[in-house]
Amino acid sequence: MNLALENFSFRFNDLNLDVDIVEETMGYERGQSPEPFPEMISNALSQCENLTDIKGSLLITENFIPDNLGCINIEGVSFFVGKKIVRQLKNAEGGALFICTAGAGIGEKSRDLMAMGEFMEGYILDIIGSLTVEAAIERIQNNLGNEMLSLGKKLANRYSPGYCGWALSEQKQLFGLFPDNYCGISLSESCLMEPTKSLSGIIGFGPDLTRTAFECDMCELKTCTYRKIRIAKYK
C-alpha cells in the first residue's frame, strides 16, 4: 500500500467555539437565546477543555479510482459510496481517508447529566461535542487543502459512511485501513463509532475539484446534527 499517515491533536480552547455558534445550532439567532441558556452554554463550554481528547488522522493516497457505478477503489479496497458521491469525486486524482474524535469524556458527561434528569445541560454538552469534532475535522481538512494547494490541487467536500447513500456498514473497510483502535476510536458490531462524538470518511483531491460551502441538500438524513451545524456556520 502507498498510504501516507498524518496525525493531529487539538486543545478544545484552540477551536474557538463560543456561545453564539451553540445558540445557532440549537435553532436560535446568535445572541438571542432566552435565559437561562446563555449562562448554561457558557458554563458547559468552560468545562470542555477537561472533557475532550481531540485527535484525528488522515490516510492520504493517490491510488483512488472512482467508477461510473457508485464505487471508489482505494488501495485495492472497494467502497460503494453511491452515485451521488461519485459524481462529486469523479475527477479526483487521489484522496484521504479520515477519522476524528472529540474523545469519550464529553459524551459520557452528557449521558450522565441526562441520566440524572439534567436534560438541558446534557443536551447542550451533546451539541458541543458534535461541534467539537466538526471543528476539528474542518481544521484537518483545511490543513490538507493547504498542502494540496502547494501541489496545484484542490479539495472536494468530505463525505462519510451513513450519508448520501453510502452504507454505514462500510465503516469496516474504512477502519480496516487504519491501525486498530487508532485515535482511540473503535467500531461496534453495528458499525457505530465509539466514542460517539467521532467522524470518519473520505476527501478527494485533484486540480479539477471544487469544495462548496456545504451540500446537505444532497443527503436524505434530515435529522442529522451536522446538517444543523453546517447550515448555522455557512448560512
For residue 179, give the CATH number of its domain. 3.40.109.40
Contact 161, 171 (CB under 8 A): yes
Structure-block grid coordinates of residue 218: 444532497
pLDDT at 234 over 50: no
| pTM across the whole model | 0.90
Domains in the chain, number = 1
Buried b / exposed e over 190-201, threshold 16 CB at 10 Å, is ebebebbbbbbb
Structure-block grid coordinates of residue 111: 449521558
Region 216-233: mean pLDDT is: 50
pLDDT at 235 over 50: no
Buried b / exposed e over 107-132, threshold 16 CB at 10 Å, is bebbeebbeeeeeebbbbbbbbbbbb
Centre a 10 Å sphere on the Cβ of residue 214 and count the other Cβ atoms it contains. Answer: 17
Centre a 10 Å sphere on the Cβ of residue 27 and count the other Cβ atoms it contains. Answer: 9
Q: Which of 132, 136, 201, 141 is nearest to 166 (CA)?
A: 201
- Write down the mean pLDDT value for the chain: 91
DSSP labels, 24-50:
HHTTPPTT-PPTTHHHHHHHHHHHGGG
Q: What percent of the chain has pLDDT over 90?
A: 86
Residue 210: predicted pLDDT: 86
pLDDT at 2 over 80: no
Residue 3: predicted pLDDT: 78
- Least reliable range by pLDDT among 107-116, 122-131, 225-234: 225-234
**What range defines the domain where residue 155 resides?**
4-234
Tell me what percent of the chain is helix, strand and coil, each rounded to the nearest 5.
45, 20, 35
Contact 122, 235 (CB under 8 A): no
Position 201, amino acid: G
In angstroms, rounded to a whole number, what is the distance separating the alpha carbons of residues 95 and 34? Answer: 44
All residues at 6 or more sequence positions from 33 whose CB lies less than 8 Å from its CB, including other chains:
23, 26, 41
All residues at 6 or more sequence positions from 115 whose CB lies less than 8 Å from its CB, including other chains:
none
- pLDDT confidence of 231, banded at 50, 70, 90? very low
